[in-house]
Amino acid sequence: MPTEPTRAPGAGQSADAILAELRGLREADAPTRGGRTFAYVYDAGLDGLDELAAAAYTAFATVNGLDPTVFPSVARLENDVVGAVAALLGAPGAQGTFTSGGTESILLAVKTARDHARAERGVRAPELVLPSTAHAAFHKAAHYLGLETVVVPVDPLTFRADAAAMAAAITDDTALVVASAPSYAHGVIDPVAAIAAAAAARGVLCHVDACIGGWLLPHLRRAGRAIEPFGLSVPGVTSVSVDLHKYGYADKGASVVLYRDAGLRRHQYFAHAGWPGYPVVNPTVQGTKPGGLLAQAWAVLRYVGDDGYAALAARVAEASDRLLAGLGTIGGLRVLGDPVPGLVAVTAVGGTGADGGGEPDLSLLLHLADEMRERGWYLQPQLSFDGLPPNLHLTLTPATADRVDDLLADLRAALGSARALPPVSVDPGLAELAAGLDPDTLGPDEVAAVLAFAGLGGDGGLPARTAPVLALLDALPRALKERLLTEFIGSVFRI
């Protein structure tokens, strides 16, 4: 049912009333500080950091990053921030760009590769070769930019990309080959050197998605952990993406994409002189750009400092060790692969032996996520895909380090409660009906019926317990899943 739009208020309201309303809206949200939300948020737990980021944003809130000739401060800040990333992960001559996030960094890296392949190699129908664990942002980029994706299955035990299979997937039309350091889903580092070498041997570009690991891994190395090189120092790697709004602990809207040299980065830029307005040259997707996001990221990097980041990385690593050891003692939970410190994907298995020994149990896993949510924790459900088991994803940050022991205790208790619940099952009739639907020709009424069946009808909110919905989603064919997700989010943003 379409909702009537409400006009902005006729008479302006007081600042106090407005801020009170905004703060009230936050009450239903997952907490972004305090270490109980294990995805989406990155809490350094440092006194004064949030206040500094907000003040730095405010100082630049009215600045337009569109034109560094009018606002030279923007060039100074961006050169500093990109320079800091280049110093960690670059090679001589590396150049980059500050972007709004990992997705934009990846979008730009894919555009650069497409245009490079077109200009330098005459490629007309560009392809993107990526492991099945590559972030969805690459599929989005391929979708936006008109590339074909060539998805290469990963090793089903290690969850790492299969370098030989990736090499075999490269063709004369390949514009870009992708590796992750590490992957978001399982937190494992792909064999970057072998993949990059295979790409280079064919004259193809190679992007390392270090969105989540790019700022953490070098500092883990400084803190004494063994981490193989994965940046532009690795022969054949031609671009890297690094999110500062993850383990850089900047506020959201901060990432860097870095290229081997200026000749490559040029393909990212868009210039236009064919209109009567001002001469346009945009490095990124946006035109008008917030100066504040750049300023807050710059401020956060300075406030924490290199030694501070090494200390925070050590804290994440220590917490990660404790979490992995603890998970190993809970029968029925199994960690997937050998993740880098900071990320964990854990599945629930049938049986109660040391690691259950049994098969991944989707119903138990989803009940566990709901039980944990009732106990005040957010762990991120990830569904099964191409033979890879469903799991719960946890991102550890310094703030979660103090919570690990409580988390483990609650996981133990929640698993007991989850086992006592009747398994969620997908109505075979619905699954069958759904499997027979053609997602492209579904009318709104049919979609609404399936959503209602899944408990997603009406008010656009998720039901308190998400297990039945996610179990249904898990069972549906991919195209239908995507259609339902689209309809669902359309019902959330209902105007």
Ligand X SMILES: *Cc1c(COP(=O)(O)O)cnc(C)c1O
**Chain residue whose CB lies nearest ligand X:** 102
Query: Under DSSP, is residue 197 helix (H, G, I), strand (E, B) or coil?
Result: helix
What is the nearest approach in angstroms of ligand X to the Cβ of residue 100? 8
**Half-sphere exposure of residue 494: CA atoms within 13 angstroms, side-chain side:** 13
What is the nearest approach in angstroms of ligand X to the Cβ of residue 247? 10
DSSP state for residue 154 in the 8-state scheme: P
Q: How far apart are the C-alpha atoms of 381 and 236, rounded to whole Å? A: 35
Per-residue contact flags (x/-) with ligand X for residues 190 to 229, judged by CB under 6 A: -------------------x-xx-----------------
378, 300 Cβ separation under 8 angstroms? no
Nearer to ligand X, 101 or 337 (CB): 101
Nearer to ligand X, 135 or 160 (CB): 135
Burial class (CB in 10 A: 0-12, 13-18, 19+), 117: buried
Residues 6+ apart with CB under 8 A from 182: 188, 189, 190, 212, 213, 217, 339, 340, 343
Residues 6+ apart with CB under 8 A from 264: 112, 116, 205, 238, 239
Q: How far apart are the C-alpha atoms of 42 and 339, rounded to whole Å? A: 18
Nearer to ligand X, 290 or 356 (CB): 290
Nearer to ligand X, 98 or 184 (CB): 184
Q: Establish if 337 lies at the interface with ligand X (CB under 6 A).
A: no
DSSP state for residue 352 in the 8-state scheme: -
43, 400 Cβ separation under 8 angstroms? yes
Structure tokens at 33: 């500080």
Structure tokens at 179: 């590796």
What is the nearest approach in angstroms of ligand X to the Cβ of residue 376? 24
- Tell which positions 23-82 bind ligand X, by CB under 6 A: none
Nearer to ligand X, 66 or 212 (CB): 212
- Tell which positions 225-254 bind ligand X, by CB under 6 A: 243
Q: Establish if 133 lies at the interface with ligand X (CB under 6 A).
A: no
Nearer to ligand X, 208 or 223 (CB): 208
What is the nearest approach in angstroms of ligand X to the Cβ of residue 234? 17
Q: Taking the alpha carbons of 340, 343, 345, 351 in that order, is the dihedral positive or negative?
A: positive
What is the nearest approach in angstroms of ligand X to the Cβ of residue 44? 17
In angstroms, the Cα distances linking 449 to 265, 311, 462 are 48, 52, 16
Per-residue contact flags (x/-) with ligand X for residues 91 to 110, judged by CB under 6 A: ----------xxx--x----
Nearer to ligand X, 180 or 391 (CB): 180
What is the nearest approach in angstroms of ligand X to the Cβ of residue 175? 18
188, 159 Cβ separation under 8 angstroms? yes
In angstroms, the Cα distances linking 150 to 122, 169, 198, 235, 335 are 19, 7, 15, 23, 28
What is the nearest approach in angstroms of ligand X to the Cβ of residue 105? 7
What's at 345, amino acid-wise? A
What is the nearest approach in angstroms of ligand X to the Cβ of residue 34? 21
Binding residues with ligand X: total (CB under 6 A)? 13
What is the nearest approach in angstroms of ligand X to the Cβ of residue 370? 24
| Among 94, 137, 369, 404, contact with ligand X (rule: CB under 6 A) | 137
Query: Under DSSP, is residue 243 helix (H, G, I), strand (E, B) or coil?
Result: strand
Nearer to ligand X, 60 or 138 (CB): 138
What is the nearest approach in angstroms of ligand X to the Cβ of residue 207? 11
What is the nearest approach in angstroms of ligand X to the Cβ of residue 104? 7
Q: How far apart are the C-alpha atoms of 76 and 231, rounded to whole Å? A: 24
Nearer to ligand X, 225 or 252 (CB): 252
Nearer to ligand X, 103 or 238 (CB): 103
Q: Establish if 135 lies at the interface with ligand X (CB under 6 A).
A: yes
Per-residue contact flags (x/-) with ligand X for residues 147 to 186, judged by CB under 6 A: ---------------------------------x---x--
Residues 6+ apart with CB under 8 A from 480: 434, 435, 437, 439
- The DSSP line for 392-422 is EEEE--HHHHTTHHHHHHHHHHHHHHHHHSP
Nearer to ligand X, 180 or 491 (CB): 180
Question: What residues make contact with ligand X under the rule CB under 6 A?
Answer: 101-103, 106, 135, 137, 180, 184, 209, 211-212, 243, 255
